Structure 1
C-alpha cells in the first residue's frame, strides 16, 4: 500500500463482501459515492486488527490512510518514525519509495555467461579483466618520469577522510597491494588521496590528487588520437562496431624504481593504526603523461619503427612527415633494447633525407641514451 497521507485507507478493487455504508469522495473529476468493505482482518505482522476499507476502482494503487496507521500505532518523534505492536514493542518496517517498486519485479541479473559470448570467453580467457586480473607488459621497458630542471620534492598533507570513505576504499587499496601495484616506501614526495563515491551506489574508489606532481614533470608531446577525428572517419554504411574497455590499462606499464617515489601518498586503515607511505610501481591514473605513454606502448608494432618528423612553429611542433620503417630480419631478431636503437637509426636516416643534414633532435619514450652509454660487455 502507498502511504500518501490520506484520511482513509483505500482499495482499488473488491476483495470480499461489501457493506451498505457509502461515502462521498471529492476528486479532480467531481464528486462520487463509493462503498466500504465489511470489517476485514488485517495482519500487522505481530497481531491482527479489524478494519473497513473504502473501495475506489479508479484509484491507481491501494492507499494507506491515517485510520489504519493509527491502528498500526505509528509514532513520530524528533528521532524519526517508529511503529509499535500491541505490547508497545518497536517493529522494523521496510519503507519503499513508489518509484522503486518496479525493482521487486525485475529479474535478478544472471551470472551465467550469455551463450553467444561463451565461445569467446573460453577461447580468449586472458582478454577479460574478470579472469585475467591485472596485466603486466613484460616486454616493455621501465617508464622513467623526467622532472623539470627546477623541480624539487613537494609534500601536500593528506586531507581529512571520513570513516565511511576510508572503509570504502580499503578493499581497493588492499587489492592493489596484493597485486604488487602498491608498495610501502619512504619518500620526500607526498600528495593526498581522495575517496570518490561512485554514482548510484555506496562504493568508493581511491583517486590521487597529482596536480602538484604534474606541475613538476616535463611535458611530453601528446600522440593520443583525437576521438572526434576518429569518429568522423567512420563510414556511414558501417552500423556495428566493437568497443574494447581497457580496464586498469595504465597499470600494465611498470615504473622505474627512481620514478616511483614521486607518486607517494599517506595511508592508514583507521584510528589507532600506523600511518605509512605507499607508492605505485606501475603507471599511475591521473598522471598527465599516462595517456601518451600508454598510447605509444600500444601503437608499437613488432619489427616496425614509426615516427613523426616535426618542425618548431612558435610554441607548437608542426608535423612535416610521418615515417615508418620495417626492420631487417637481423635487427628484428634482436632484444627489445637493441631493436629500439635500430628503429631510431633507420628513422633518423629517413628524416635526414628531408632535413638535408640540419640539426635533428630525437624524442623517444625509450631510454636510448642510456643504452648507447652502456659500458662494453654489459
Structure 2
C-alpha cells in the first residue's frame, strides 16, 4: 500500500479513516525478518564450485540495482563475502521505473541435494522398459513403482517396497537366455489373462523346440476389468498382438489362447464393447492376413507367469459368459403369460452434497404406483 502522503487523502480516504488506520500498514522500506534459523541449502559435490558467468547488464540496470543492493546491505540482508561459487543476477524493471534484483539459481537447483525418499522411482521406470520383454510377469513386479509415482504426497519408501525392488533386481540378474527373432519363421504368441493383467510369451521353434523370444505383460484399462474373463481375453489378445508387432515386423503370427476369442468377439462382445472398441479389435484380430487365432486347451507358457494355472482350462466361453452375466438362473427374456406385471425403477442424485436414492414399484396394467420410498445412503 502506498504512503498516504504521496496521494491526496480526499481522493481515497477521509481524515477519520486516516486517523484510525495504524501507521504499521504503510510501506516504510524496511525488510521484515523471520525469527528462524537461517536457511541452508546442501548441494551435491560441494568441493566442485558452481560458477556461472555474470550476464552483461546495461548501465541503466546497474544504476537501478545500486540503491537496492545498498539498502539490502544497510539492513543486513546482504553480507560481503568471498566465495568460490557464483550465480548471475538480473535487473527487472518495475512499472514505476524502479528495479528489483533477481538471482538466477537454476545452476544451484541442478546440484541441490534432495531428501532421500528411497530409490528413484523415475530412474527405475526409465530402465525397466528396456528390459520389459525379458522379465516374466513384468507388469505385476513393477506395479508398485507406478503406484508410488501416482501418490500425491511425498513418496514413502517402506521395507516392503524395498523387498519388491530387490525382487525386481533379482529377476534382472537372472534373466533367461532369449532367442533372437527370425523373420523367416512364424511366431507363436501364447496369451492368457489373470486378475486384469494380460500375460504373453512370444516364442519361435528352433530345432523342434519352442524357445521364448520375449515375455509380454500389460495392465488392462479400468473399463476392461469389469468384463467377464472371456471378454477380457479379447482385450488382452489385442494388446499383446500389438506389442508383438514390435518384434515380428509383419511376420506370420499364430496366437494361442484358452479362450475362443473369435467366437466371443463375433457373438457376445457386442453387448459389452462400444462400437469403437469393436472396430479396433476386429481390425487387429480378424482383418489381419498375417494373424492366425487358435484355441489351445492345453497348458501354455503364459499361464505360468502368475503362479499356478487355473484348473478349469477346458471350458466353453459362450456358456461361461451366459452363466456369469445372467441375473438369475430361471429368469427369462419373455414375459410370463400369467400373474401380475410390475415395473421397478430407481433413481439417485446428490442434494446439498449428500447422495439420495429412492425406488418405486408400478403396476404394469394401470400404471399406478404401488410403493415408493427411500433407499439407504450407505
Which TM-score applies when normalising by structure 2?
0.28
| Greater per-residue helix proportion | 2
Q: Which one scores higher on RCO, CA 8 angstroms, separation ≥ 6?
A: 1
